[in-house]
């Protein structure tokens, strides 16, 4: 005898695949912090190599860690 279940119950506390867990969010924010800190410390000739100005680098590095484009979190 075979029993088939079409809809599995999941806990409301279980993380969904499309939503990061709290630990993942914290890790992402730490990564953004490190990247923006590194960007802030680049010399002008290195910024020119990646195609951004000192003003653009300063603006990006001044943003809070939770302010990132949606495509960064995938």
Q: Where are the domains of the chain?
A: 22-69
pTM of the model: 0.67
- Could you tell me which of 69, 70, 42 has the C-alpha nearest to residue 56? 42
d(CA 21, CA 12): 13
Mean pLDDT, consecutive 10-residue stretches, the chain (74 aa), reads 52 65 93 95 96 95 90 67
pLDDT of residue 68: 87
């Amino acid at each position: 005898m075979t029993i088939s279940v079409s809809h599995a119950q999941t806990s409301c506390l279980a993380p969904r695949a499309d939503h990061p867990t709290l630990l993942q969010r914290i890790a992402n924010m730490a990564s953004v912090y490190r990247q923006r800190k590194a960007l802030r410390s680049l010399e002008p000739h290195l910024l020119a190599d990646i195609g951004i100005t000192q003003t653009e680098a300063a603006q990006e590095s001044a943003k809070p860690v939770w302010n990132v484009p949606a495509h960064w979190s995938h």
